[in-house]
C-alpha cells in the first residue's frame, strides 16, 4: 500500500469514530432529559396522590363547598391524564404543552380550595390537614427542582444537537427535532413554594 491509501484509510477511520461519538453523545443527552422527565413524573404522581386525601379531609368541613372540591378532583384527573400523555413522549412540544396547561388548571383549582379552607378555622387547625399541606409544599419544591433538572438536560441536548457538525448528522440518527422545555404558565412564580396555610 502506498502512503496516500494509508492516509485515506486513516481519515476514514477518524471520520467513522467521530460519527460514532456524535451518535453516542446524542443518545446519552436524550437519555438524560428522559430521565429528568421521569423524576418530574415521580413527584407529580406523588402530588396527585396527596390531593384526594386533602379533599377527603376537607369534605367533612366543606360539605356545602362541593363545587370547589369537585373542581379540584377534576383538575387533578386532567393533570394525571396530561402526565400520562407526556410520559409517553418526553420532550415532545405538544405533550409538554398539554401537561403545562393541565398543571395550570390544577394550580387554579387548588388556589380556590385554599381560599375556601381559610374560612374554616377548625379545618386549618386539623393535624391531618397540616401534615398534608406540609407534604404538598415539600412535593412542590421537589417538582420545581426536578423540572429545573429536566429543562437543563433538554437545553444541553438541544444545544449539542443544533451545533455544527452534529446538526448535519442528528436527523439521520433520529434526532431531527429539539426536545421541548417544560414551562408552566407561571414559570416565575413556580420557583417559590406554594403558600398553603391551614
**DSSP codes of every residue in 29-80:** HHHHHHHHHHHHHHHHHHHHHHHHHHHHHHHHH-GGGHHHHHHHHHHHHHHH
Domains of the chain and any CATH numbers = 39-183 (1.20.1440.20)
What's the Rg (C-alpha) of the chain?
Answer: 24
Q: Report which of residues 10 and 67 the model is more confident about.
A: 10
What's the pTM?
0.77
Taking the mean position of all CA atoms in its chain, how far away is CA 160? 21
pLDDT at 186: 55
pLDDT averaged over every residue in the chain: 87
The whole-number average pLDDT for the span 7-23 is 95
Local confidence band at 43 (pLDDT 50, 70, 90 cut-offs): very high
Considering the chain, what percentage of its residues have pLDDT values greater than 70? 91
Q: Kindly state the cell numbers that stand for 64.
A: 356545602
Contacts of 4 (CB under 8 A, 6+ apart): none
178, 92 Cβ separation under 8 angstroms: no
Q: d(Cα 165, Cα 42) in Å, to the nearest integer?
A: 36
Q: Report which of residues 162 and 117 the model is more confident about.
A: 162
Amino acid at each position: 500500500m502506498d502512503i496516500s491509501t494509508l492516509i485515506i484509510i486513516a481519515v476514514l477511520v477518524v471520520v467513522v469514530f467521530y460519527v460514532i461519538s456524535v451518535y453516542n453523545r446524542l443518545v446519552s443527552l436524550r437519555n438524560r432529559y428522559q430521565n429528568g422527565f421521569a423524576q418530574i413524573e415521580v413527584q407529580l404522581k406523588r402530588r396527585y396522590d396527596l390531593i384526594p386525601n386533602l379533599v377527603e379531609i376537607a369534605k367533612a368541613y366543606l360539605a356545602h363547598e362541593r363545587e370547589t372540591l369537585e373542581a379540584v378532583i377534576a383538575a387533578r384527573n386532567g393533570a394525571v391524564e396530561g402526565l400520562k400523555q407526556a410520559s409517553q413522549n418526553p420532550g415532545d412540544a405538544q405533550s409538554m404543552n398539554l401537561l403545562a396547561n393541565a398543571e395550570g388548571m390544577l394550580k387554579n383549582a387548588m388556589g380556590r380550595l385554599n381560599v375556601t379552607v381559610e374560612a374554616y378555622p377548625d379545618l386549618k387547625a386539623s393535624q391531618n390537614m397540616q401534615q398534608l399541606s406540609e407534604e404538598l409544599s415539600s412535593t412542590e419544591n421537589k417538582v420545581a427542582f426536578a423540572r429545573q433538572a429536566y429543562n437543563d438536560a433538554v437545553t444541553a441536548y438541544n444545544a449539542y444537537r443544533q451545533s455544527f457538525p452534529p446538526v448535519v448528522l442528528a436527523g439521520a440518527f433520529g434526532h431531527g427535532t429539539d426536545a421541548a422545555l417544560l414551562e408552566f404558565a407561571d414559570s416565575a412564580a413556580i420557583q417559590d413554594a406554594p403558600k398553603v396555610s391551614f
